[in-house]
Amino acid sequence: MEHTSVLLNETIDLLNVKPDGIYVDGTLGRGGHAKLLISKLSAGHLYAFDKDEQALKESEVNLSDVLDKVTMIHSDFRSMEEELHIRGIGSVDGIMLDLGVSSPQFDDPSRGFSYRYDAKLDMRMDQTQQLSAYEVVNGYPEEELIRILKEYGEERYAVSIVKAIGKYRRKKPVESTMELTEIIRSALPEKELRKKGHPAKQTFQALRIEVNDELGALRNGLQSALHLLKPGGRCAVITFHSLEDRITKQVFKEYSSAPFVEPRLPLTATQMEQASFHLITRKPVTADREELARNNRSHSAKLRVIERTAG
């Protein structure tokens, strides 16, 4: 279950790490990005969040030689302001978010994230929460399932797939990933099944996003992150699909745009209110040829970075 951190050096380089700075890793995972960042700290400290308890346990081992410089917090990064406030931290020098599901989560059949393994429908990043893919697939109204598949999976055959799920679950619950995969296959036209790529990919993505409220967490988490940054502090976000990237791009654009000023007002440039943030990356950073060759997960990765310029 090896996990290779995507855009590792690019992320840490663009964070412009200060040796005595306070930093946040909102998605610790197995600690790949965290380890490199901590190596650049002297008197500084890292606060690392993850809602997956297994990830925190494995990171504690992976970061065992630098545990004095890291505080691990079992929580969604959307709660970072509250959690840091409890610990007496009101502002930080940098924040990084590596979104999506990690390779170990995908590769552990018992977690139910993958259509490659037969497992109970689950898909919970935080296994202490109640809502799982089982409840979504078997309990949501068909209209809501269609919306989720269209909105979060951009699935063009959402109606056909949900009708097939509805027909199946009227007889018995959909309990496993393989059951769901076969239902999806049965709902798709032959020409679609012949296409490259797994036919269940978009549906599984949509269900995972719903179960973990990934897009809601991203919107809330980005706003918390930008509020926490000190002047000169940076926020780096790695996304893996268009929905995440679109939200990140929109939020960064909003915060880096100066307030509207009526053009007819007689104001000089120095009198106009300036934006409190500016974009470090006008276009997203993507993996180079070497990383693309050794890490398949990097193909869809995009890194965006923003800096706070004023309080």
Q: Are residues 87 and 228 in the same domain?
A: yes
Q: Output the pLDDT for position 262.
A: 52
Q: How confident is the model at residue 83 (pLDDT cuts 50, 70, 90)?
A: very high
Rounded to the nearest integer, the mean pLDDT of the chain is 93
At 106, the pLDDT band (50, 70, 90 cuts) reads confident
Domain boundary among 196, 212, 228: 212
Please indicate, yes or no, whether residues 74 and 219 belong to a single structural domain of this protein. Answer: yes
pLDDT in tens, 26-61: 999 999 999 999 999 999 999 999 999 999 999 999
Work out the pLDDT band at 301, boundaries 50, 70, 90: very high
72 with 133, same domain?
no
Going 113 to 131 to 79 to 242, the CA torsion angle's sign is: positive
Whether residue 255 is found in the same domain as residue 131? no
Q: 221 and 294 share a domain? A: yes
Starting at the edge strand that comes first in sequence, how are the strands of the sheet with 45-50 ordered?
Answer: 70-74, 45-50, 22-25, 92-98, 229-239, 302-308, 277-279
Q: Do 118 and 196 fall within a single domain?
A: yes
For residue 197, is it within any domain? yes
Whether residues 189 and 222 share a domain: the answer is no
Clarify whether residues 121 and 208 are in a common domain.
yes
**How does pLDDT run across 226-240, given as a tens digit for each residue?**
999 999 999 999 999
Q: Is 268 a domain residue? A: yes
In a shared domain, residues 290 and 203: no
3-state secondary structure of 260: coil
Q: What is the pLDDT of residues 12-27, one digit of tens each?
A: 999 999 999 999 999 9
Q: Is residue 1 part of a domain?
A: no
Taking CA atoms, 53 is separated from 44, 75, 173, in Å, by 25, 9, 28
* Whether residue 132 is found in the same domain as residue 220: no
For the segment 141-147, the average pLDDT, to the nearest whole number, is 98
What residues form DSSP beta bridges with 23?
46, 94
222 with 94, same domain: the answer is yes
pTM of the model: 0.91
Give rounded-to-5 percent helix, strand, coil for the chain: 50, 15, 35
121: exposed, middle or buried (Cβ count in 10 Å: 0-12, 13-18, 19+): buried
103 occurs within a structural domain:
no
Last residue of a domain, one of 182, 212, 242: 212
Is 3 within the bounds of a domain?
Answer: no
Between CA 87 and CA 95, with CA 90 as vertex, the angle to 5 degrees is 95
Does 1 score more than 50 pLDDT?
no
Percent of all residues in the chain with a pLDDT value above 70, rounded to a whole number: 94
Same domain, 60 and 72: yes
User: What pLDDT does residue 253 have?
Assistant: 96
**pLDDT in the model for residue 199:** 95
| Domain total in the chain | 2
Domain assignment present for 104:
no
**Which residue, of 195, 212, 229, is where some domain finishes?**
212
The C-alpha atoms of residue 78 and residue 81 are separated, in whole angstroms, by 8
Instruction: Give every CB contact of residue 297 below 8 A, 6+ residues apart in sequence.
Output: 4, 6, 103, 240
Closest CA to 161 of 131, 132, 193: 193
Taking only the tens place, the pLDDT of each residue in 259-286 is 655 555 555 555 456 789 999 999 999 9
Residue 149 pLDDT > 50: yes
pLDDT at 26: 97
Domain CATH for 65: 3.40.50.150
Query: Which CATH number fits the domain that encloses residue 165?
Result: 1.10.150.170
Domain extent, residue 80, equals 8-98+214-308
